[in-house]
Structure 1
Amino acid sequence: MKNKSSIIIPAALIFLSMFSCANDQETKQVPLQKFSVANPEVRDIVYRLEYPGYLQSERIVEIIARTEGFLIENKIKPGQKVSEGDVLFIIEPKTYEDKLTTAEAALATAKSNLVFAQSSLDRIEEAAKSNAVSQIDLIQAQTNVDLCKSAIKTAEAQLSIAQTQLGYCYIKAPCNGRVSKSTVDEGNYVKPQTQLTTLYKEDNMYAIFTIEASNLIWAQKQAKSQGSINTKPFNTVDVIVADVTGETEIFQGELDYLSPSADLSTGTVDMRAVIKNPKNELNNGVYVKISLPYKETKDAVLVPESSIGSDQSGRYIYVVKDDTVRYRNVKVGQLERDNMREITLGLQADELYITEALTRVRNGQAINPVLESTKQK
């Protein structure tokens, strides 16, 4: 019995030892976890200030009635494009046509009276040479001529007024553009100053916005350091228009107005950029974002924003060296439109960083790095 126990115990120890060795071997064979890594992208970037703004048509004209009468014809459709000189509305012209006819007749009468008065003066002047008429008759004849000339001037002025008033009956477009819906229907009686529609000239659009005076001064200094300062430090600007899905389209504009004075109550400066709009893609009153370039940085180091973490010490990334993860604090700069963030301090162009899954990696961890493209898909 004693001999049997002594045989079983060594056998058990041998089995446990073999099991332990097998486990150690299995542990050593566990593969390292794969993580995507990449080199930062290096490219030139432009620093920008962004501000909200809105679009305004190059010219906005309220089309109003300048005379009174019944509106007998509306020639426009809402949103219609019109050309300069097109007739938009007609106010009943009959009364003003009659006034014009009366004025023309009055002018003709005045001219006839002048012919008669001048003929009488000529005869009296001839008779006065032989003292056949008195000096009073001569003066009276000359006065009649002068009165007839004045009457002609008055008749001509009345004719011009009548022509102008008749012209007011035909309301024309003062420039090319698009019209809004009419505010008065045909058949209604209109008076002077009654608004009929609004005309928007949209060949060019204005982007209106304001910028803090302190930011303007700072941006001017930045531009001056690169030798590009002038009275309009931004020169060209990007106007960003977003649709309901969040997709954006960028239109380039030129700064054409910088207020010479800051608003004392807000500390801001009014600015305006002009944008060419040949296809009428932009509309008056649309809210936009204005991007103002003020400085260019050569060979900036950039990584995707999603590859940068945040904690109490600030922003950080995980750098990979010799297949080992290293936690590193970084200083960041501008976020580009493609969601790439500039790293101003803490990462070199030839280093590798972990691009994703930051929550599953730890400092000092050994990994199997998988190199991928820097740019985001």
Structure 2
Amino acid sequence: MKRATMAALACGVVALSAAAYYYVPIWSGLLLPVPASPSETATAGARQGAPVPVKVAAVLSEDVPIYLSGIGTVQAYNTVNVQSRIDGEIMQIAFQEGQDVKQGDVLAVIDPRPLQAQLDQQIAMRQKNQALLDGAILDMKRVDTLILKDFATRQQVDQQHALVDQYKAQVINDEAQIDYARNQLNYTTIRAPIGGRVGIRQLDQGNFVRASDRATLVTITQLKPISVVFTLAAAAVGQTKLTLGQVNAPVAALGPDNSSELDRGVINLVDNQVDQSTGTIKLKATFPNNALKLWPGNFVNGRITVDVRRQAITVDAIAVRHGPRGDFVWVAKPDMTAGFRPVAVGQVFGGRALINRGVAKGEQVVTEGYYRLENGSRIEIDHAAPKPAAPGVQTSSSEPG
């Protein structure tokens, strides 16, 4: 009996040992802490007070130009379709396609011989009528003398005076015909009415042209200066100092990348009516185009300076973040903690953001390292060299970083 009891106890001890062998590791594994991920460790460290390395930039007070942006269509300052004003054969073409010409340069010559003959004929007719007039005037003087001695009647005197007036009218008519014929002869030499660049020749030498056909010999476009017509929202223009009629607002023409500057000019005109279908209004600008970067028919981006905000608050554009509730920045506080600050952004240009409200001059905003920040996080500022000021922005004062 004792042996049986001892054997049962031994079996129980063995069973408990086996259970402990198999089950204790499982339970111990469930009770051991699971290692955290690196990001969770960093967040936990930040919450526990570990500083987050960041870079900051000072809030500046600057004179900031206010811009309106829009797309413009380049147009030639003047465009002329050169056409013949007389009938005749083209005897000479005196220009090369794509050539720059000046006002008055000879472009083509039409056969002048028929018109020269007409001019000579009108000159001969005037000489004939002038001779008749001279003879009639002499006869009139004789008749006037004879009537004093009663050797002529009043009727003869009146007839002679009327004949002199008739010949005078014929001479005047001849002179008008001569002027007309001379002008027609001058039209045989086709000259450039404006300075500019000629395009593709439409008529070749040897062709017979007629004034009634209105055939174009070549088109001249004036490229220096050149015009650009911008189309902007009428509501946006109405909020600026621009008025209907003639204005003088600076404008820059930009390339397709909206950053490369093609030329600088001025807005000469704000149109006098709004397009009701689109709610837009047209603005016409003039550019010197000395480098010939603007070509008629091209599209350019326009940046129009409509005002200058004096002593405006600006920050690095990279410091402005966008959230579901609007724009905000992280402000580096004097106690080396980060604070969440909502801001109202006016415009962004040249790497700078105009802030209407939210921050003040002299404060510092986080430009790098903001992804790991929470409101109240401790920070460690990396004092790197300040970035150069954006081109075209005049800084009136600045604060040390």
TM-score tier, shorter chain, comes to 0.7 to 0.9
- Conserved 8 A contact 2:52-2:372: no
Q: Equivalent residue of 2:69, what SS?
A: strand
Aligned mate of 2:308, from 296, 303, 306: 296
Cα distance in 2 between the residues matched to 1:129 and 1:163: 46
Name which of 176, 179, 183 aligns with 2:195.
176
The count of residues paired between Structure 1 and Structure 2 equals 339
Offset at residue 32 of structure 1 (A): 5.9
Is the partner of 1:332 in helix, strand or coil? strand
- Map 1:335-346 → 2, pairs under 5 A: 335-336=348-349, 338-346=350-358
User: Structure 2: which amino acid aligns with 1:207?
Assistant: V
1:214 aligns with 2:235: yes
What is the SS of the residue equivalent to 1:100?
Answer: helix
Question: 1:318·1:327 contact (CA, 8 Å) conserved in 2?
Answer: yes
Where 2:204 maps in the other structure, the secondary structure is: coil
RMSD (Å), alpha carbons? 3.3
Counterpart in the other structure of 1:20: none
1:83 aligns with 2:96: no
**1:219 aligns to what SS in structure 2?**
coil
Residue 334 of structure 1, CA deviation: 0.9
CA distance in 2, matches of 1:262, 1:342: 30
For 1:339 and 1:113, how far apart are their aligned partners in 2?
88
Secondary structure of the residue aligned to 2:261 is strand
Residues 237, 330 of structure 1: alpha-carbon distance in 2 compared, 3 angstrom cutoff: same
Provide closer, same or farther for how the CA distance between residues 306 and 147 of structure 1 changes in structure 2, counting only shifts above 3 A. Answer: same
Q: What residue is the counterpart of 2:359 in the other structure?
A: 347
> 2:57, 2:366 within 8 Å by CA — same for their partners in 1?
yes
Residue 333, structure 1, aligned to residue 346, structure 2: yes
Distance 1:135 1:296, change over 3 A: closer
State the alpha-carbon separation in 2 of the partners of residues 100 and 234 from structure 1: 51
Provide the rounded CA distance (Å) in 2 between the counterparts of 1:351 and 1:308: 14
**How far did 1:245 drift?**
5.9
Which one has the largest radius of gyration? Answer: 2
Whether 1:69 and 2:81 are equivalent positions in the alignment is no
Equivalent of residue 177 in structure 2, options 134, 158, 179: 158
Using the size of structure 1 for normalisation, the TM-score is 0.76
The equivalent of 1:22 in structure 2 is: none
**Is this contact kept in 2: 1:103–1:159, CA < 8 A?**
yes
CA distance in structure 2 between the aligned counterparts of 1:300 and 1:135, rounded to whole angstroms:
97
With over 3 angstroms needed to count, the CA separation of the structure-2 counterparts of 1:106 and 1:362, relative to structure 1, is: same
Q: TM-score, normalised by structure 2?
A: 0.72
Alignment partner of 1:198 out of 205, 219, 238: 219
Structure 1 residues 233 and 299: CA distance shift in structure 2, 3 A: farther
* Alignment partner of 1:119 out of 138, 159, 164: 138
Correspondent of 1:50 among 69, 75, 79: 69
Is 1:185 aligned to 2:204, yes or no?
yes
Q: Look up the equivalent residue of 1:308 and give its one-letter code.
A: V
CA distance in 1, matches of 2:190, 2:77: 21
Q: Does 1:240 align with 2:253?
A: yes
C-alpha contact (below 8 Å) 1:233/1:294 kept by paired residues: no
User: Offset of 1:75 from its aligned partner?
Assistant: 1.4
Is the CA contact 1:91–1:170 (under 8 Å) kept in the aligned structure 2? Answer: yes
- Could you tell me how far apart the structure 2 residues matched to 1:245 and 1:313 are? 30
The farther-off stretch of 146-155 and 324-333 is 324-333
Cα distance between partner residues in 1 of 2:265 and 2:86: 41
Q: Judging changes above 3 Å, is the alpha-carbon distance between structure 1 residues 246 and 47 closer, same or farther for their aligned structure 2 residues? A: closer
Pairwise CA distance, 1:126: 4.4
Of the structure 1 ranges 277-286 and 54-63, higher mean CA displacement relative to structure 2 is found in 277-286
Cα 1:247/1:312, change in 2 over 3 Å:
closer
Separation of aligned partners in 2, 1:233 and 1:141: 64
Distance of 2:51 and 2:267 partners within structure 1? 56
Whole-Å separation in 1 of the counterparts to 2:187 and 2:328:
72
Q: What's 1:369 paired with?
A: 381
Q: Do the aligned partners of 2:230 and 2:282 also contact (CA within 8 Å) in 1?
A: yes
Shift of 1:247: 4.4
**106-115 or 320-329, which deviates more:** 320-329
Distance 1:264 1:368 in 2: 56
- CA offset at residue 77 of structure 1? 2.0
State the shift of 1:299 in Å: 3.2
| Distance in 2, Cα, partners of 1:263 & 1:369 | 53
Q: Which residue of 2 aligns with 1:12?
A: none
Kept in 2, the 8 Å contact 1:46–1:293? The answer is yes
SS at match of 1:102: helix
Q: 1-side partners of 2:343 and 2:273: how far apart? A: 40
The separation in 2 between residues aligned to 1:50 and 1:154, in whole angstroms, is 62
Distance in 1 of aligned mates of 2:369 and 2:247: 40
Contact 2:56–2:367 under 8 Å retained in 1:
yes
> Judging changes above 3 Å, is the alpha-carbon distance between structure 1 residues 152 and 114 closer, same or farther for their aligned structure 2 residues?
same
Greater Cα shift, 312-321 or 275-284: 275-284
